[in-house]
Amino acid sequence: MKRRSTVAVFAVLLLWSSPALAWDPFREDRLIEPAPPERHPDPDPAPFIAPPPGIYYVTDTYVADVVTSSGPVTTYSTSTIHESTGSYARVLDTVGTGASSAFDGTAFNGRRALGDGRSVAGTYYENYVLGAGGFVPVSVVFFQDDAETARLLAATPAPHVVKPAPSVPSTPSATTRPFPPTCCAARSVPTIASPTPAPPKPIRPGISLLPIGAPLATLEVLRGRAISLWPRAFVDDREVPVRSWTVIAGDPGEALVTSGPGAVPFRTSWRRLAPPGAAYEVVLRLEVDTADAGRRIVDAAIAVIVRSPALDD
């Protein structure tokens, strides 16, 4: 009886059985025809930032102001070197001889004066660096382009101006006649052009990690690592004292102060990494004491690349 009942129960269960289909979580996904994937253009790893109108890429870099004299002509020009430092520039103002400009006093190399005190002609340019936030102005430079003719006629004795009269013979001959004294010798007082002041030597600014370390143009620092940036300035190969400094452009990081005396470095750290391939451009404006030109203003820039230890695959 038990055996029959068991067989009957199994038979009923077999008849009532149905395929137990498991729930397919992706069933609805298959019914919907997948849309063709949108083709997004690959992101540009280093997007090109077009310079604003008027700003162009610098291919000739300022070296020094040049003053040359050729006879009575003194020429004021600017020497350049054909190289690119990665900076940009735009024309601020073009001024003529003696004309004043709103940018007088802003150029780090100054604007000279002619012998009569008038300012030389030339062009003001503003320099830019391309930082993470766009074009950052870093300095103003004046390209002088002028010339003057010194009134040195009397400085060297002209043969026709004054000539000592020879001893007059008692009987003048036809061949030797006394040189008539010029009527206006007394009035023609030669004016001598004031000597052109020696051009101030260019100041080479720099930033170093140590008070006596080598100036650096690029610096790699670890994220969050505190560093001290020492503003430096050199004339020729001699270091000149920096009176004060101020951060005028760029990301100063986690700095407590952004200005200070020259004896105190710029202390800061960066907690954020710059975008890949980019760097933080920091520009310090230095007030420098020079022996020949007194107090002058120069800008020192440094590119800071913040890195962080990471695991590699």
Whether 258 and 247 have beta carbons less than 8 Å apart is answered as yes
Structure tokens at 179: 């040189």
Q: CB of 283: closest distance to other proteins in angstroms?
A: 17
Q: Is 145 helix (H, G, I), strand (E, B) or coil?
A: coil
Which residues of the shown chain bind other proteins in the complex (CB under 8 A)?
Answer: 208-210, 213-214, 216-222, 225, 307-313
* Cα dist from 9 to 1, 15, 18, 70, whole Å: 12, 10, 16, 126
Q: Containing H/E element for 8?
A: helix 2-16
For residue 110, which of 194, 193, 244, 201 has the smallest C-alpha distance?
Answer: 201
Q: 49 or 311, CB closer to other proteins?
A: 311
Query: Which amino acid is located at 162 in the chain?
Result: V
Q: 33 or 312, CB closer to other proteins?
A: 312
Whether 205 and 231 have beta carbons less than 8 Å apart is answered as yes
Q: CB of 133: closest distance to other proteins in angstroms?
A: 22
176, with CB counted inside 10 A (0-12, 13-18, 19+), is exposed
Q: 150 or 303, CB closer to other proteins?
A: 303
Q: CB of 300: closest distance to other proteins in angstroms?
A: 14
For residue 114, which of 127, 90, 95, 93 has the smallest C-alpha distance?
Answer: 95
Q: 5 or 218, CB closer to other proteins?
A: 218
Q: 177 or 307, CB closer to other proteins?
A: 307
Q: 238 or 307, CB closer to other proteins?
A: 307
Q: CB of 234: closest distance to other proteins in angstroms?
A: 17
Q: CB of 307: closest distance to other proteins in angstroms?
A: 4
Q: CB of 220: closest distance to other proteins in angstroms?
A: 4
